[in-house]
Structure 1
């Protein structure tokens, strides 16, 4: 007996499959960046080198945006889950937090402010570019 699924279920399954493949592609870029950082003896995070490489390939139109958009969007929506192990690991360093807690708080606040400002400016540049009023470098 043949089971017929509604079209929406098949579309969802297909989208999940595509997302998994795209996440694997993003992971390959991260591994490649780590490899380059190790081989070239760079003190820069390999995952950032991989994302820089991906950005360069996207910008040169060698690599297509649609090849990673579903997986990238899923990773962004679930980003908070990736920070849970980090927050739990902080509990192991309770004595360090007691000694340097104010310094950590200051660094976190300054870092958050810098991220908010740079994210806002980046979003503004993108909106201006989409409206044809500006250029993205």
Structure 2
């Protein structure tokens, strides 16, 4: 029964996050804002969490599930590459190189940032 409760809570939270995205997407399209609704939603969630208007526990399980299953959301994009066979044959090496370098840059930057935050936390705790 407990597993069912947790699963239901996560489902409701995912629906809330998706509903927020749908509302923001409609607003972005209506107002012709040049920023994607997903970026605005991310910023809005951050602000609402920081101000305490939105409690982390209200979205945590759903967000964790979405992050855990993120790979599934990229499979259609990877399958879509098949449609651009000629482009991949012409520029495939360059595209792969850019993807690898950008991934490396994100990993290095994320690692350095995490290390700095950890060091700062240790200094504060002393």
Same fold (TM over 0.5): yes
1:110 to 2:110 alignment = no
* Structure 1 residues 19 and 111, CA gap change in structure 2 (3 angstroms): same
Match of 1:88 among 64, 79, 92: 79
Inter-partner Cα distance in structure 1 for 2:49 and 2:69 = 23
Asked if structure 2 preserves the Cα contact closer than 8 Å seen for 1:23 and 1:72, the reply is yes
**Higher relative contact order at CA 8 Å, sep ≥6: structure 1 or structure 2?**
2
Unpaired runs of at least 5, structure 1 = 1-9
1:28 to 2:19 alignment = yes
Match of 2:34 among 28, 40, 43: 43
- Structure 1: which 4+ aligned runs deviate by more than 6 Å? none
Alignment of 1:63-74 (within 5 A): 63-74=54-65
Question: Offset at 1:122?
Answer: 4.1
Match of 1:98 among 89, 100, 103: 89
Q: CA RMSD, aligned part only?
A: 2.1
How many pairs does the alignment contain? 125
Inter-partner Cα distance in structure 2 for 1:120 and 1:46 = 28
**Which residue of structure 1 aligns with residue 124 of structure 2?**
133
Q: TM-score, normalised by structure 2?
A: 0.86
- Structure number with higher helix proportion: 2
Q: TM-score, normalised by structure 1?
A: 0.79
